[in-house]
Amino acid sequence: MKTDDINELKKIAVKCRKNILRMIRANGSGHLGPAYSCIDIVTALYFHGMNVDPQNPKMADRDIFLLSAGHKSMAQYAALAEAGFFEKNILDTFGQFGSRIPGHPDMHKLPGIEANTGSLGHGLNLACGIALGKKQDGLGAKVFVIMGDGELAEGSNWEAAAVAAHYGLDNLAVFVDHNGLQISGRTKDVMSFEPVADHFAGFGWATKRITGNDMAEIVAAIDAIPFERGKPSLIVADTVKGRGFSKAENQAGYHYWKPSAEDMALAEKELEDDSAGVGK
Ligand SMILES: Cc1ncc(C[n+]2csc(CCOP(=O)(O)OP(=O)(O)O)c2C)c(N)n1
Ligand SMILES: [Mg+2]
């Protein structure tokens, strides 16, 4: 399941985007922009970076992934399904009453989900506790988090940023999905936390900035973790919200998408013929 091959990872990211469209088709709507924005990072984590086993999702020395921005859930479900954590026909139940893949991730419903997220501003705090515990048990596991850039407006994140540095959690790595948009517009207009890397560095984190839809750059960043011994790692991942569907790219209006039949067909076609270029 794991690969170092960048082209192979790009192809898997296309399959994951197809899984996302499958969920939206089944449910009639979903967070397309947020899921597409981070799916290249999620793909690289599950298929290159993380020590996880779909056959043994609770293995003691596994790496931990927390999707702090839980509204991006389809990205994680897409990768978990592609990796074999659950049967793909479950994708067709997305968002429906009683589904194992509800709108926001639920650790009690699906193997591979480590925490319930969706209320923004909690994932990093949970991750700090888990990373501290993992350090103490000496198994060498890493903890990975994906946050949104709009999510940084939650003050709880900054307490966690201080805690992670204070305890020297160099087994913790955070990707900020830096797409410049949140639910209702540009992060710089709604609530700005720029420059993101400098704020985390001020608390004592080691930081890198990458293009977050560029598979080679994502893989290089993952391979460099921890960036400095004794410090948590922060990756500002410059992404395009909606990357992979031309109409949605960099559009706040596609944060939550209820597609017409024509638009869904167009989004599917762009993946099929790869006119969006995400597999190239
Ligand atoms: C505590 C909390 N407040 C508000 C929301 C509603 N909400 C859902 S997504 C979102 C915007 C998130 O923007 P960002 O973190 O930039 O993620 P993106 O959509 O760009 O992936 C908001 C405000 C929430 N889920 N939790
Ligand atoms: Mg954002």
CA of 181 to the centre of ligand 2 (A): 4
Nearest residue (CA) to ligand 1, atom 9: 183
| pLDDT at residue 176, rounded to an integer | 99
| pLDDT at residue 211, rounded to an integer | 98
State the average pLDDT over residues 139-168: 98
pLDDT tens sequence across 31-46: 999 999 999 999 999 9
What domains appear along the chain, each with residue ranges and CATH number? Answer: 6-272 (3.40.50.970)
pLDDT tens sequence across 130-153: 999 999 999 899 999 999 999 999
Question: Residue 130, exposed/middle/buried by CB under 10 A (0-12, 13-18, 19+)?
Answer: buried
Q: How far apart are CA 95 and CA 90, in angstroms?
A: 11
Atom of ligand 1 nearest to the CA of 31: 19
| pLDDT at residue 121, rounded to an integer | 98
CA of 122 to the centre of ligand 1 (A): 12
Nearest residue (CA) to ligand 1, atom 15: 148
| pLDDT at residue 54, rounded to an integer | 98
Between CA 29 and CA 34, with CA 26 as vertex, the angle to 5 degrees is 40
Q: Ligand 1 pocket test: which of 68, 71, 191, 192 has the largest number of ligand atoms within 8 Å of its C-beta?
A: 71
| Average pLDDT along the chain | 97
Atom of ligand 1 nearest to the CA of 151: 15
CA of 180 to the centre of ligand 2 (A): 5
pLDDT(82) > 80: yes
- Residues 6 or more apart in contact with residue 115 via CB below 8 angstroms: 66, 105, 107, 123, 126
pLDDT tens sequence across 91-126: 999 999 999 999 999 999 999 999 999 999 999 999
Ligand 1 contacts (CB < 6 A) are 34, 37, 69, 71-72, 118-121, 148-151, 177, 179, 181-183, 187, 241, 255
Q: Ligand 1 pocket test: which of 120, 149, 174 has the largest number of ligand atoms within 8 Å of its C-beta?
A: 120
Atom of ligand 1 nearest to the CA of 187: 16
State the average pLDDT over residues 262-277: 92
| pLDDT at residue 277, rounded to an integer | 80
pLDDT tens sequence across 228-238: 999 999 999 99
Q: If DSSP codes are grouped into helix, strand and coil, which group holds residue 169? A: coil
Q: Ligand 1 pocket test: which of 183, 186, 189, 243 has the largest number of ligand atoms within 8 Å of its C-beta?
A: 183
pLDDT cut 90: percent of the chain above it = 96
Q: If DSSP codes are grouped into helix, strand and coil, which group holds residue 257? A: strand
pLDDT tens sequence across 50-62: 999 999 999 999 9
Tell me the pLDDT band of 278, cut-offs 50, 70 and 90: confident
pLDDT tens sequence across 195-246: 999 999 999 999 999 999 999 999 999 999 999 999 999 999 999 999 999 9
Torsion of CA 21, 106, 136, 234, to 10 degrees: 40
- Residues 6 or more apart in contact with residue 189 via CB below 8 angstroms: none
Torsion of CA 39, 41, 43, 44, to 10 degrees: 160
State the average pLDDT over residues 153-179: 98
CA of 137 to the centre of ligand 1 (A): 33
| pLDDT at residue 275, rounded to an integer | 78
pLDDT(276) > 80: no
